[in-house]
Chain A
Amino acid sequence: MSYEYVVLKEISKKFAGGVKALDKVTIEIRTGEVLALLGENGAGKSTLVKILYGVYSADEGTIYINEKRVDISSPAEAIRHGIVMVSQHPQLIDTLSVAENLALGLKAFNAFTSIKKVSKFISEKSGKFGVKIDPWEKVWRLTYTQKQLVEMIRAMLLNARVVLLDEALTYLPLEEKRKFYKFIKEFTAKGGSAVIITHKIPEALEAADRIAILRRGRLVGIIEGGSARIDDVRKMMFGESAAEITYGKLQASQPGEEAVIETQDLWITGDFGENAVRGVSLRVREGEVVGIAGIVGNGQRELTQALAGLRKVSRGRILIGGRDVTNRGVRVVREMGVGYIPDSPLAFGISIDNSMTENIAALYQRKSMLVNWSEVREVASSLIEAYKIMIPDAGSLIKVLSGGNIMKVIVSKEINYCRRALIAHNPTRALDEVSAIMVRKSIKERAISDGVAVLLVSEDLDEIYQVSDSIYVMNSGKLYGPFPPDEAERSNVEHLMVI
């Protein structure tokens, strides 16, 4: 029998700047269920799970666990109640082994203390999952999927009764995502509960028993997974804007003749001395959008970083606008009018302890000794309007924004900055559907109307197909293609991604 293990009652939360992130939200989490939490960027999803996990405290409202009123003032306390969160970013220590990492986390909770038992548990669980993990492997050697799996195993080790997945599956390749959902189902079948936050509605419909929809801090409704229709869900999430969602191919570009971004037999060394990129040659012409598909961790990050000038190339050449910029550093590339949406947006894309205007100024104001703030503010307010960024005002610190809105600031300032070329690595990650489509359209718009050459690297095949004029596949540091999108069968492309 399922019963209500956790009840969140009339939870309200207001942030600085008067943002009402949650307004009297009442939700129960039942044993044995997968509950999907949906809503557009900034709807309050993360805030809600963070309150349950003890990261934030609610202004009003109460939390009941097993019908008893509780105060959860820290993650440690949440874990004691059997509530564990897995976020997008693995929280593991790179230089320790998997088993060491997990044993470390457990010490505090006196669950398993023997590292032997921990390692046995890891082998067992990962074996069952279908992605083998050697417990003695150092964490830096793991793929992203393996790391997220380790996070899940950690939750199991902690005897979690409720796992909170805040976009934890967002960056996983489709195939492995499915395995995760299976894993989660097994967990709930034994009486556990899972709360999943995702921007992929079809996934939520498939995996969830119930779907709770938040909009601007309010609970719009809870529907049964089986009976839900995608269009209804979208309406509830986005209201009128739901009509803007489309996955149809965007208008094709008329590329010029000249190659704006060109690489010749590029070899790049990865962080751990391996050959991350192996002999990549590609051309992106004026006004053309070239998409690179592939599963995360196949050299895409190293490639885009090298193109932006952030990473040294060990062999080969990079030409931008015909000029050799190989190993010339970031400044040269940036001054040629190249926008860069990085793969690690919070490291290379923005400084969250500064304001939106300061972040824009750092990129745009490069010539004179004095900052022209009125110019910067103009750019900021036009971006806020065009991209519907939810921000108290342009002078607010970035760290007060929700994940999706931070991403919008990063992406919009780069799309607007580029004059000649744009290197976009997963530009719509963490964005809801409406925002993602808007971003794709504006990227395409810059290509078509201003002749910007765009290199789009994405793990999202829908995105690649929707925007690209030409498609490559990257696998183990090598590039396959180009293929024209109309002729490239999706199944073939997917096959190239995993061979």
Chain B
Amino acid sequence: MRFIVVRRTKPHPYIKPLIIALSLITGMGLVAILLTLIGAHPFAILVTIAYSFTTPQVVKDMLLLTMLGCALLISFKGAVWNVGAEGQLYTAIIPIVWITLYVAPWSAGSPPHQPILIILASITAAAVFGAMWGAVAGALRAYVGIDEVPVTLIMNYVAYYVVNILVLGPFRGRYVYGYIRTDDLPDAYKLGINVVMQRTGNAFLDGFLEFIRVVVYYAYWVLAAALVALLTWVVFNHTTIGLRIKILGSNPEFLRAVGVDVRKTTVMALALSGLLVGVASAIYYLGDLTRLTYPIQAQTAGYGYLAILVVWLSMLELPLIPLSAYIVSSLRNAGRNMQIFGLGGLESTLVLLGSVLLTYSALRFLTEYEVRVVK
């Protein structure tokens, strides 16, 4: 008996989700084995990981990562590698802080429709800033010929730097003693629905109610993530720019030969990508972050980088973005929980993510190839 690998001529209908699931299981197994070797209890590890997939903490991350994943997908489809979501995320927060704290701060006497206007203005401004931050990298790649990967990466640090300067200087809070950070976002501008759940005493029921509470709190996020995903779908399936970005990703020479400006398309891909990052950024700031703290690079949750993993894991398939966002957030959550439960340090998070992604990269070839057994 012998195994041979041959190129698939028919794509397998469920191969992509299958590969993702398989890498997840293998990765978890690997981590369990590794940590068992250094003395942890394998059962405890598996339970912790499984538990981490069901806790309410993943809701927020998953929604945010879905939005950021969609944003990056727009550029990745065009083979333009925007690894600068992190920088775009924080750059886009700058105008929000300015608007919500300085242009239109909330006071008891403000008109009742002000919050909604301010929230919309914040989202718009964030989108514009994100788009500009992306377009700069796009222009450098298209017109100066500098590769966008280092550029977008370096621009992340530039963004940290700019935000830090602002927080240290003009944006430094007036009501926060002892901290270097901005004032808190006024409650009226916060994007979230608070409901109070009565405790019942039944652990299972309480857990479920907590889940409901979190989902309700993030109802706006659910809406926003759905809108961003829908927008991404519309861009790719119904707009000329989306079509051009896809062709840019598969054959830029053909794009040129039909008379499309390849450079402009490159800039547009990065600008659109940054625009959606900006939208996600506004939702994140208004609904969860609510202030910037110095130094930002020590405070960031690294969503901009995790989003790259999300898109990579989705194999650039829009329908798989929410699924892979869910997996990445759960794995991150699992790592955190393992630390909390004393099953390993920070390295266990990395080992977990690493083994899942490693298995995943190893199995990815199965989308194009199949393994057959011959006698």
Contact = CB atoms under 8 A, between A and B. Distances in A.
Contacts of A73: 4-6
B7 interface: yes
Contact of B7 (A13, A55, A329, A365): A55
Interface string B2-18: 00111101110000000
Contact of A363 (B6, B238, B258, B374): B258
Contacts of B5: 73
Contacts of B250: 351-354
A318 interface: no
Contacts of A348: 253-254, 256-257
B241 interface: yes
Contact of A368 (B240, B246, B259, B374): B240
Contacts of A25: none
B251 interface: yes
A382 to B, nearest CB: 19
B300 interface: no
Contact of B260 (A56, A349, A362, A371): A362
B255 interface: yes
Interface string B218-253: 000000000000000000001111011011001101
Contact of B246 (A55, A308, A358): A358
Interface in A338-354: 340, 342, 347-354
B255 A362 contact: yes
Nearest to A55: B7
A335 B238 CA distance: 22
Interface residues of A, number: 41
A85 to B, nearest CB: 15
B4 A71 contact: yes
Contact of B257 (A57, A71, A340, A370): A340
Q: Which residue, of A13, A71, A362, has the highest number of chain B Cβ atoms within 10 A?
A: A362
Contacts of A349: 254, 257
B368 interface: no
B347 interface: no
A84 to B, nearest CB: 19
Contacts of B4: 71, 73
B241 A369 contact: yes
Given A330-B259, A362-B247, A363-B258, A347 B10 contact: no
Contacts of B253: 347-348
A309 interface: yes
A362 B243 contact: yes
A371 B240 CA distance: 6
A194 interface: no
A362 B265 CA distance: 13
A12 to B, nearest CB: 12
Contacts of B254: 347-351, 359, 362
B9 A333 contact: no
A334 interface: yes
A136 interface: no
Interface of B: 4-7, 9-11, 238-241, 243-244, 246-247, 250-251, 253-261, 372, 374
Counting from the closest, the 4 A-B pairs by CB-CB distance are A334-B259, A351-B251, A353-B250, A331-B259
7 contacts: A56-B9, A73-B5, A310-B257, A350-B251, A353-B251, A354-B246, A363-B258
Given A73-B5, A330-B256, A331-B259, 8 more contacts: A56-B7, A71-B374, A333-B259, A340-B257, A349-B257, A354-B246, A361-B243, A362-B258
